[in-house]
């Protein structure tokens, strides 16, 4: 009797263990509790990267799936399926639906295959492709921007042909991208070379385009002989004063404004960079350079220029604290330059507006000085998609709207850092392709240009 009870209990325990094993084996790898033998449909995400003729689908994994079937229709009850998605079979969790019509609403559902089995249908998702694009408006930017200058970065090799046509049609201010920096204008001790800077200034004068000088002092464009200066600190300071006085005097009344010192504060901390100028002239070297600039040209506008000014709170604070101190002590400073090397997805509007307001609240001039907007910040595209071009257009519009809305007393210029995408400095800097500017390589306007116009309007 006792032996039979033990044997019965053992059997019941074995049945319980088997049941637990079956329950566990019926659970999916992702932890979903799938009943034994039941084949679940995938969960389909909202379509992304919607363009005029395509969109991207993603969906969840399903345990045991061998393939998935995608059906695309132009009606909600799926009676009008679109070839070749009637259905399309594949083994993946991402797929680009292509060869679609512009401006059309499509409905998508899926099923899971497991050998010869088919699941029920998934949820239905909807995507409406973009309308067929028409020509972008070609209205000249300077004709619409009536309260501030519209600037463009230039090089002497890009002042003719189609570059010239765009410059003279669209812009009323230019900035030398690199040819008005110390390493170019003062390459050898005691020997100046104004060949390129003269060419840029003369081009502006000949075409009624203002010149923004960039930049007298920048740690990344310092000649080797200056970095290795062999004289005393007093001799070094005298040399810098003579250099600034010589350059600013040469272009007195011809150059509207100067970035006298560029990128003087460290990222994240707002501390002064330990440049050769700081080492040999002291922490007040910026003040000295600004005063020498004003002495050489009493009418020139004097700016401090830096990057990440909207997102690096410490750097912005250091710049504004310096400006406050200069104003309080009658040290010349007229404005702050935000370089604005940003991306289509950030920083957001409130961040840019908040940083700009800190400048304009001080009645300083604000220059958006080196604007470009990356379309490919994550290096995950090989070409500029239609949707990303639209996203970039929206960001250009937003940036220009922000600048256009600041007080009139703080408006100066909004300068774009390059003309056609293939010439952007960002490709070499980041090591991958991007399309951050307003013109295609054939000099036709992009949606980014349309966004700039919309921001002005």
Distance CA 394, CA 397 (A): 5
Given a contact cutoff of 8 angstroms between Cβ atoms, the answer to whether 293 and 256 are in contact is no
Distance CA 349, CA 63 (A): 43
Where are any strands of DSSP class E within 162-201? Answer: 173-176
Distance CA 132, CA 110 (A): 28
H or E stretch at 353: helix 349-360
Structure letter (DSSP) for residue 44: B
Q: How many residues does the chain have?
A: 457
Distance CA 445, CA 442 (A): 9
**Of the candidates 80, 193, 96, the residue with the CA atom closest to the CA atom of residue 88:** 96
Distance CA 454, CA 435 (A): 20
Distance CA 256, CA 178 (A): 17
H or E stretch at 317: helix 313-328
Count CA atoms closer than 13 A to 17's CA, side-chain side: 6
263 is catalytic: yes
370 is catalytic: yes
Task: Identify the active-site residue in 113, 136, 370, 398.
Answer: 370
Distance CA 294, CA 288 (A): 10
**Of the candidates 373, 377, 402, the residue with the CA atom closest to the CA atom of residue 390:** 373
Where are any strands of DSSP class E within 2-138? Answer: 55-58, 67-73, 88-90, 94-97, 105-114, 117-118, 125-128
Sort strands 335-338 and 301-306 into parallel, antiparallel or unpaired: parallel
Return phi, psi of residue 399, to 5°: -65, -45
Distance CA 185, CA 195 (A): 8
Please tell me whether residue 263 adopts helix, strand or coil conformation: coil
Given a contact cutoff of 8 angstroms between Cβ atoms, the answer to whether 27 and 33 are in contact is yes
Please tell me whether residue 182 adopts helix, strand or coil conformation: helix
Task: Identify the active-site residue in 263, 398, 401, 457.
Answer: 263
Q: Mark residue 299 as left, alpha or beta (left: phi above 0; alpha: psi -120 to 50; beta: remaining).
A: alpha
Residues annotated as catalytic (active site), given as ranges: 263, 370
């Amino acid at each position: 009797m006792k032996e039979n009870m033990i044997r019965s209990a053992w059997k019941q325990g074995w049945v319980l263990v088997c049941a637990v094993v079956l329950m566990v084996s019926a659970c999916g790898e992702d932890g979903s509790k799938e009943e034994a033998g039941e084949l679940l449909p995938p969960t389909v995400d909202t379509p992304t990267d919607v363009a005029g003729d395509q969109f991207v689908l993603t969906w969840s994994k399903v345990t045991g799936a061998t393939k998935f079937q995608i059906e695309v229709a132009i009606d909600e009850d799926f009676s009008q399926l679109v070839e070749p998605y009637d259905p399309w079979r594949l083994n993946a969790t991402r797929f680009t639906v292509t060869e679609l019509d512009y401006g059309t609403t499509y409905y998508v559902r899926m099923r899971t295959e497991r050998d010869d089995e088919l699941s029920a249908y998934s949820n239905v998702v909807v995507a409406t492709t973009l309308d067929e694009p028409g020509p972008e408006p070609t209205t000249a930017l300077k004709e619409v921007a009536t309260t501030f200058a519209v600037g463009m970065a230039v090089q002497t090799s890009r002042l003719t042909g189609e570059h010239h046509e765009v410059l003279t049609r669209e812009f009323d201010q230019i900035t030398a991208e690199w040819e008005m920096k110390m390493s170019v204008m003062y390459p050898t001790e005691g020997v100046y070379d104004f060949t390129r800077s003269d060419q840029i200034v003369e081009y502006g004068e000949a075409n009624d385009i203002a010149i923004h000088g960039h930049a007298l002092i920048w740690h990344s464009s310092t000649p080797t002989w200056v970095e290795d200066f062999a004289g005393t600190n007093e001799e070094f300071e005298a040399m810098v004063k003579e250099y600034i006085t010589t350059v600013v005097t040469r272009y007195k009344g011809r150059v509207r404004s100067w970035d006298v010192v560029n990128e003087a504060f460290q990222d994240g901390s707002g501390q002064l960079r330990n440049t050769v100028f700081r080492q040999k002239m002291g922490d007040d070297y910026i003040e000295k350079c600004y005063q020498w600039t004003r002495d050489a040209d009493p009418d020139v506008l004097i700016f401090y220029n830096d990057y990440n000014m909207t997102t690096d709170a410490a750097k912005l604070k250091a710049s504004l604290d310096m400006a406050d101190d200069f104003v309080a002590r009658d040290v010349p400073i007229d404005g702050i330059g935000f370089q604005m090397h940003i991306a289509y997805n950030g920083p957001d509007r409130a961040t840019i507006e908040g940083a700009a307001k800190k400048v304009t609240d001080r009645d300083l001039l604000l220059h958006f000085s080196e604007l470009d907007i990356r379309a490919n910040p994550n290096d995950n595209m090989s070409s500029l998609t239609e949707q990303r071009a639209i996203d970039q257009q929206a960001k250009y519009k937003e940036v220009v709207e922000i600048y256009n809305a600041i007080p009139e007393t703080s408006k100066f210029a909004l300068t774009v850092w390059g003309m056609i995408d293939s010439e952007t400095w960002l490709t070499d800097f980041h090591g991958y392709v991007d399309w951050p500017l307003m013109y295609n390589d054939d000099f036709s306007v992009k949606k980014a240009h349309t966004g700039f116009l919309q921001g002005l309007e």
